[in-house]
Amino acid sequence: MSQYKITINNYDFQCPGCKGNISMPYNVKGIINYYCPACRSELIIDTSQLELYYPNAEKVFQTAIEDFELQGFKRAFRYFSAAAECNHPEAMYYLGTMYNKGLGVDENEEKALYWLHKAADMNSIKAAYRLGHVYSTENYKCYDTAKATKYYMIAAKKGYVYAMYYTGIMLAEEDNPLRDLNEAVSWLKKAGDNGMADSYEQIGCIFEANLKDLHTAFKWYECAAQNGSTAGQFQAGRLLFNGPIVGDGSFEIVDYDTAFKYYWDAAHGGNMDAMTDLGKCYEEGKGTDKNLDVAVKWYVRAAELGEFFAHYHLAVLLFKCRNIDGAYYWENKAYNDFPERRNLIEDTYRRITEVYNLMHGYGE
């Protein structure tokens, strides 16, 4: 094994033995011993010259953070750049994120990936997580579910709960060559056990959609619901409300009272799907007393949040109540705001529009 004594004035340099690239972290000081991972040469490195050529990276980074938090993004970008040149991994992460989001600089996917990769290579958990996000975003050129899974998993293995969740999500994706439903469930359970209750709801979705096991799905939905997940509350309520489903793994329980309670909790927690179904409970008098005024209230709240079926149910209910103007408004809004779903409401839209036009004397 060869030994070399060198003095560096740059954080990135080449091994004198194999000419491989080496990067020193921003906080190195004095004389350090380093073994080249490529050729195993022992390097005795004098880093004292670095402070003559570079600023104090940590101080520069803290200044950048202050500017970033005050939304002074252009100034923050300059300071993050200076700290990143000193191989400050968190500065690299912020720099990559700013390129990714176009904060203080033009959006640039290639430069975002460059800095995020450098930061991840220096063990930045945030950078690994951000790389997972970038690679899992379909409208990016670099979209790659396998790479997304890899980087989410790196962050997940270091204890980052959100990364555990998204590792599970990615492992359940159909277009992922690394797809593994058992491992997906395992990572989602870890996220749930670490306080992310929505992860349990996602396990339920896997059992329902992929494994066609509604009984097990319901158990996970209930687990999510009992831990405060509005998504879990909605899903548990949905199965209890809809009852028997024909086929393997059929769900046989009908419990409108409990469904109503789950919908109530989820709706008051802001879940717009639950708001729609809570409106349906009030409209049909299932799990609660029938109250059309309250049904309209919940349909309107869900529709204003952008829930498609709330538009539809609201329009139909108003039409039945002879509020033709209101019915036309919400059905027309659904038709125009959700063009990809027009086929679901074509007949209703046509019928309401005909009555509306006749009432107002439009057309022939």
**Dist. CA 88–CA 83, nearest whole Å:** 6
Q: Thinking of the domain 128-352, which architecture would CATH place it in?
A: Alpha Horseshoe (1.25)
∠230-231-235 over CA atoms, to 5°? 115
pLDDT string in tens for the chain (364-residue length): 799 999 999 999 999 999 999 999 999 999 999 999 999 999 999 999 998 889 999 999 999 999 999 999 999 999 999 999 999 999 999 999 999 999 999 999 999 999 999 999 999 999 999 999 999 999 899 999 999 999 999 999 999 999 999 999 999 999 999 999 999 999 999 999 999 999 999 999 999 999 888 889 999 999 999 999 999 999 999 999 987 554 555 567 789 999 999 999 999 999 999 999 999 999 999 999 999 999 999 999 999 999 999 999 999 999 999 999 999 999 999 999 999 999 999 999 999 999 999 998 876 5
What contacts 40, CB < 8 A, 6 or more positions away? Answer: 1
Fold identical between 58-123 and 128-352?
A: yes
Q: Is 252 exposed, middle or buried (0-12, 13-18, 19+ CB in 10 A)?
A: exposed
**Dist. CA 40–CA 96, nearest whole Å:** 31
**Dist. CA 208–CA 205, nearest whole Å:** 5
What contacts 173, CB < 8 A, 6 or more positions away? Answer: 145, 179
**Dist. CA 271–CA 252, nearest whole Å:** 25
Question: Residue with structure tokens 């679901």?
Answer: 344
Provide the residue ranges of all domains of the chain, joining segments of one domain with +.
3-53, 58-123, 128-352
Q: Thinking of the domain 58-123, which architecture would CATH place it in?
A: Alpha Horseshoe (1.25)
Asked if residue 339 lies in contact with residue 311, where contact means CB atoms within 8 angstroms, the answer is: no
Question: Residue with structure tokens 């004198």?
Answer: 16
